[in-house]
Amino acid sequence: MRCIGIIGGMSWESTAHYYRALNEGVRARLGGHHSARLVLHSVDFAPLEAMQREGRWEAAGAVLAEARRGLEAGGADLVLIAANTMHKVADQVMAGARVPLLHIADPTAQAIRRGGLTTVGLLGTRYTMEEDFYRRRLEERHGLTVLVPSPAARAEVHRIIFEELVLGVVRPESKARYLEVAAELAAAGAQGLIAGCTEIGMLLQPADLAMPLFDTAELHVAAALDLALAP
């Protein structure tokens, strides 16, 4: 079993899910008393959140690059950034790395293509929805068309993530608002919906929607297990 290195803490709510899901996945695949081989560097999110808000992405990338070097020193054979937004600095984080990064957008796109879909809606932080680092990868590498909510809806989706979900707060009225935004994206032509923030799975489940929901955290974990357990 290869050792999975996780850069987490962004937020620890979703990182805790990664830890549990990876271990449950190993147990399901191997049985018995098996658990995941992994090393975790969990960062303090408050300084990183301020760096994001202030546009100091290079500084944020330096924090994660230091974490990645620690994971390598600890024996990691592959690296996961357990957050969608921080893939904006993935190239900086992995510069000079001896081990590969499993980019969260790739297993997500592959699942969408396997489902026969070509046009999807994207929910996430405003950075993920509005900047091109994430959408461009989905569009150029995987041939998808990506739709994002209206400006007012993007602001509300972002607010709910940072003021509620990353703090472990799940409110029915916020779920209802996300479902409204999903319906608007479906009306605009989305065939499925990307939960493009690793905390959104706290709020939305596949059964809540009339179209497929692609939970990036779940897909990231499954792809990491494929790599870690490959012959």
Q: What is the mean pLDDT of residues 138-157?
A: 98
Alpha-carbon distances of 11 from 16, 49, 183, rounded to whole Å: 9, 10, 27
Distance of CA 84 to the CA centre of its chain: 4
Distance of CA 43 to the CA centre of its chain: 16
Residue 59, Cβ density class (10 Å: 0-12 exposed, 13-18 middle, ≥19 buried): middle
- Banded pLDDT at 48 (limits 50, 70, 90): very high
Q: What is the pLDDT of residue 44?
A: 98
With contact defined as beta carbons under 8 Å apart, do 165 and 158 qualify?
no
Q: What are the start-end ranges of the E strands in 59-199?
A: 78-81, 119-123, 145-147, 192-195
Q: Whole-angstrom Cα distance, residue 117 to residue 172?
A: 29
Supply the pTM of this predicted model.
0.96
Q: What is the pLDDT of residue 143?
A: 97
Domains of the chain: 4-103+219-228 (3.40.50.1860), 105-216 (3.40.50.1860)
Q: Whole-angstrom Cα distance, residue 90 to residue 65?
A: 9
Coil/strand/helix, residue 13: helix
pLDDT digit string, tens, across residues 68-112: 999 999 999 999 999 999 999 999 999 999 999 999 999 999 999
Q: What is the pLDDT of residue 218?
A: 98
Residue 69, Cβ density class (10 Å: 0-12 exposed, 13-18 middle, ≥19 buried): middle
